[in-house]
Amino acid sequence: MISRRAKSIDTSGIRRVFNLGAKLENPINLSIGQPDFDAWEPLREAAKAAIDSQKNGYTVTQGIEPLREKLRQKYGLQAGTGDFEQDVFVTCGVSGALTLAYMAMCDPGDEVLIPDPFFCIYRDVLSLINAVPAYYNCYPDFRLRVEEVERAITPKTRAILVNSPSNPTGVSLMQSELDAVIDLARAKDLWLIYDEIYDIFNYDAPHADARNKYEKTLIINGFSKSFGVPGWRLGFAVGPNVLLREMMKIQQYTFVCAPSIAQYAALDGFDIDFAPKVNEYKKKRDFIYSALSENFEVEKPTGAFYIFPKAPGGNASAFVEKCIQNNLLVIPAGNVFSQQDTHFRISFAAPMEKLEQGVEVLNRLVRS
């Protein structure tokens, strides 16, 4: 009665912990990857104005033109009609952009290379469309090594996916690492998908840039993290028209269009100064890394708002069960973020009080 497609994936491990947190009394919740700040005030006011001015209907599939033009300016694009001229269109979040990209690029049995560790949607959406996730190894330090990517390429490979800064590890690519994998994609004539949803959250070096380097590059990004609006489901894709046209065609029959109110409200977000908020997150990064590094094997995150320690004894699921018994919610890697279950993800997008409580629990558990 139920399709093999539906049975090919499991409920997100992140959502299972999220639902568990809703049942606990005042948990220390360091599990969910969303900002701990609300939508910026100009955006809230702009959303209200959009509702009051009756911007509540469908928009064109590709997104409203004023928003697309602002995105063109952000990425230095001049819209053209040639197959490999670059343009932008608006999607229902980065998840929507990635789903459309996979559907436009892949036939059943085709492979996409994804990093391990990975964000769970990279793997599971491929399974939903009967394509195949293949992995390139980023352990032990979570860095991209182009030789690992090349080793994973097969005749069925259609695309290489790169994420920086990384969810779940918090590691950011160096420009040289990104350039090396772009050169590999060019040499092998593969698509390069670059997920840069956390692009403003780089703490120690500039964000690695994929623009204007290779014509078969698709950049996916969105407003959830920077604008504080994950519930608005607003993202975008930047790439060659030959791919965007197919993605837009599929969007017509699936998502239809991104939420209209969110599109109009986002127009007022491009002049926001994000630096104060990024500096707050950098201080949280410094605190949690310092607090955990004496008792855990852990890489210092350079971006996003995650840290990915190794679990004591190397069994993340067992350690996370102990955390939950102590009212602390974090996410084990196994079957969520990795093919192995050695690490667990902490989100430090939380009030400092919760971070202090969380590291106290973690350090107490590892000492015991």
What is the percent of the chain where pLDDT is above 90?
Answer: 89
**Mean per-residue pLDDT of the chain:** 94
Q: What is the dihedral of CA 106, 111, 114, 120, to 10 degrees?
A: 70
- Contact present, 182 and 210 (Cβ < 8 Å): yes
- Residues across the chain: 368
Structure tokens at 108: 């059943």
What was the pLDDT predicted at 15?
Answer: 60
Residue 184 burial (CB count, 10 A)? 17
Please report the beta strands in the chain, taking only residues with DSSP state E, as ranges in sequence order. 28-29, 86-91, 111-116, 132-137, 157-163, 191-195, 217-222, 235-240, 306-307, 328-329, 331-332, 344-347
Cα angle 104, 76, 164 (rounded to 5 degrees) comes to 60
Q: What is the pLDDT of residues 64-86, one digit of tens each?
A: 999 999 999 999 998 777 888 99
**For residue range 151-202, what is the model confidence (pLDDT) as tens digits?**
999 999 999 999 999 999 999 999 999 999 999 999 999 999 999 999 999 9
Counting residues of the chain whose pLDDT is more than 70, the rounded percentage is 96
Going from N- to C-terminal start, the domains of the chain cover 4-39+274-367, 57-269
Per-residue pLDDT at 84:
84
Query: Closest Cα to residue 29, out of 270, 330, 305, 341?
Result: 330
303 vs 204: CA distance, rounded Å: 8
Interval 90-117 mean pLDDT: 98
* CA-closest candidate to residue 354, choices 21, 27, 39: 27
Q: What are the residues whose beta carbons fall under 8 Å from the beta carbon of 346, sequence distance 6 or more?
A: 30, 288, 306, 307, 308, 309, 330, 358
* Residue 82 pLDDT: 81
DSSP β-bridge partners for residue 194: 162, 219
Fold (CATH) for 4-39+274-367: Aspartate Aminotransferase, domain 1 (3.90.1150)
In this prediction, residue 285 carries a pLDDT of 98
Give 291 or 9, the one with higher predicted confidence.
291
| Predicted TM-score (pTM) above 0.85 | yes
Q: Which fold has domain 57-269?
A: Aspartate Aminotransferase; domain 2 (3.40.640)
Q: How many CA atoms lie within 13 A of 337 on its CB side?
A: 29
Least confident stretch, 16-25, 99-108, 274-283: 16-25
Mapped onto helix, strand or coil, the DSSP state of residue 355 is helix
pLDDT, one tens digit per residue, over 334-357 is 889 999 999 999 999 999 999 999
State pLDDT tens for residues 226-242: 999 999 999 999 999 99
Give the tens place of pLDDT for each residue, 308-333: 999 999 999 999 999 999 999 999 99
CA gap 173, 21 in Å, rounded: 32
Write down the residue that tokens 């998908």 correspond to: 193
Q: For 29-56, what is the mean pLDDT?
A: 94
